[in-house]
Structure 1
Amino acid sequence: MTTKIIYSRVEIDSAFDATTWQKKIFNELATNFRSRSRLFPCTFGVAGFEADQLRFAFSENMDPGEVSAALKCYLKDAKSFGKNTSLLVLSRPGPIQSLEHYRARFWSTLDGIHQTDDTEWPETIPAQIDSAGWEWCFGGEQIFVVCNTPAHVNRQSRRFSSFMLTFQPRWVFNGILDTRETAEKATSKIRSRILQYDLINPSQDLGLYGDPDNREFAQYFLDDENRAATCPFHSFTKKNQNEEEKVA
């Protein structure tokens, strides 16, 4: 019998008992998406959840190998799930650590996932992280990554009871962020909701992919006090374990 790796919203209801950690944190996530008194900022995520286009995976300790397997499984059929699809990987809740702990854990996990990727980095994507055209890739796909942690307080839109990663293929933004006009229309509602949802002003690191001054890596893990973003790697290569200098 094959063990299931990723789940739809509907499948989770029957796959996990109400007493399991998986079902408990999923219920918390569902409450966030469905709240009508406190509107979740990402309208695309809400639409994807209600249409059952999102997919979910569970990794007790966010093991890079397990996340890699879930991501491979997801990307294989992702385009059939719908235009608002993303993969959300949830870990088991534990003692709350510092924000810096989660920042380091995020980049270490992302690098660990990259180390398992048997597909070459796309030739059209710069290797250097500190560039306008850079984006994290896996399986030959450009992927926007979002990290949520229990340590976020001011930035409630990036808070969750456990360490959580969201993977959004770049193609989900086709037709939405293609031009500045369509991008501003799509993001204005989200930014308006962020102002109501968070206890801090929107990060200055939020921007549009490809803009000369935009850096995608800065949006993956947002600080809780609007400080400048950092990343421990200059590029994602198979030798990252020897590259510990931070991006200037």
Structure 2
Amino acid sequence: MNGLFKDDPSYRYQIQQWKRTALEKFEEKMKDKERPFPCIPATIGFTTNQLRYGFVGDPRASSTIDEVVVLLSEYTQRSKQFGKFTSLIVFYETPQDLIETYCVEKYEQLFWEHLSGISRKDSQEWPKHIPDDPHNAIWEFCFNGEQYFIYCATPSHRNRQSRYFDYLLLAITPRWVLQEFNTSKIYAENIKSQVRKRLKNYDSIDIHRDLNSYGENDNYEWRQYFLRDDETTLSKCPFQQFLRKIVE
């Protein structure tokens, strides 16, 4: 059974064990009242059943990028039907040998390889109003003409439990969803304050300095897509680097 789906108990009985486990682990995170998950839009989307889910194979297999492209293409076409707090949650099949041998930095490399591979297979041109340089403050990942914020979680994160998940996971959120939280400046500031408060309670490390607001002059969205488990960060976005390798 492939493609997007809306979670319901009957569906779980029809899928492989690892997929069922992934859904159960995700549900645990979203429903935890003692340690609420920091991303408030995600918890609202989950509670109101506006999230959509998809499963893909081992992230080391090149064919898995094609699977993500199929999911994201379908989601892009239908996302506005799902509600104003929707996101696409992609679970990767993450074998035990990968969990045991991959550190955060190796997952980071996989992540950028996948994001670049997905972009390479985009059937539409990059939106003209979005610069193609990730080091521009208004750059963000685009696919099929839609702007997206990308969040990555891995089984190797420990200090940043907000970036930990039992399987490699992507949460892909349309920009128009996040704009809902900025319609009122007071409301937006309140949400931001709540998110940061939750992060302090959730992680055993300080909030990463790269977390910022889209459009601010000192903000670069790509830095927030994949946060390392410490305070370090890449000096240059790998997105163009991988695209350049592909072209060559």
Name the TM-score, length of structure 1 as normaliser: 0.90
Amino acid paired to 1:231 = C
Q: Deviations over 1:41-60 (max 9, x none)?
A: 11211111111100000002
Cα distance, 1:86 vs. partner? 0.1
Q: Structure 2 CA distance, aligned partners of 1:105 and 1:4?
A: 23
| 1:82 has 2:83 as partner | yes
Mapping of residues 43-192 of structure 1, within 5 Å? 43-62=40-59, 63-94=64-95, 95=97, 96=99, 97-178=102-183, 181-192=186-197
Residue pair 2:2, 2:54 contacting (<8 A) in 1 also: no
Q: Tell me how far apart the structure 2 counterparts of residues 104 and 91 of structure 1 sit (CA, whole Å).
A: 15
1:35 equivalent to 2:52? Answer: no
User: Tell me, which stretches of 5 or more residues in structure 1 are unaligned?
Assistant: 244-248
Distance apart, 1:17 and its partner CA: 4.4
Q: Displacement of 1:178 after TM fit?
A: 5.0
CA distance in 1, matches of 2:19, 2:187: 37
Deviation at 1:242, TM superposition (A): 4.5
Which has the larger share of helix?
2
Q: Aligned letter for 1:157?
A: S
Q: Which runs of 5+ in 2 are unaligned?
A: none
Residue number in structure 1 paired with 2:17: 20
Q: Secondary structure at the match of 1:123?
A: coil
Structure 1 outlier segments of 4+, above 3 Å: 15-19, 178-182, 233-237
Q: Residues 160, 13 of structure 1: CA spacing in aligned structure 2 closer, same or farther, 3 A cutoff?
A: farther
Q: Name the amino acid aligned to 2:147.
A: Q
Provide the rounded CA distance (Å) in 1 between the counterparts of 2:203 and 2:3.
Answer: 33
3, 8, 13: which one aligns with 2:6 = 8
Distance in 1 between the 2:50 and 2:208 partners?
Answer: 28
Secondary structure of the residue aligned to 2:176 is helix
Deviation at 1:216, TM superposition (A): 0.3
How many percent of aligned residue pairs carry the same amino acid? 36
CA contact (8 A) 2:112 2:242 kept: no
In structure 2, C-alpha distance between the alignment counterparts of 1:108 and 1:151, rounded to whole Å: 18
Q: Any conservation in 1 of the 2:51–2:85 contact (CA below 8 Å)?
A: yes
Aligned-residue offset at 1:19: 6.0
The question of whether the paired residues in 2 share the 8 Å contact of 1:9 and 1:49 is answered with: no
State the shift of 1:177 in Å: 2.6
Question: Residues 223 and 180 from structure 1, CA distance in 2 versus in 1: closer, same or farther, beyond 3 angstroms?
Answer: farther
CA contact (8 A) 2:79 2:86 kept: yes
- Rounded to whole Å, the distance in 1 between the matches of 2:239 and 2:114 is 12
Do the aligned residues in 2 keep the contact of 1:59 with 1:90 (CA within 8 Å)? yes
Residue in structure 1 matched with residue 238 of structure 2 by the alignment = 232
Partners in 1 of 2:161 and 2:224 — Cα distance?
A: 15
Q: How many residues align?
A: 239
1:128/1:19 CA distance change after superposition, 3 Å: closer
Aligned 8 A contact 2:138 2:215 in 1: yes
Q: Which amino acid aligns with 1:73?
A: E
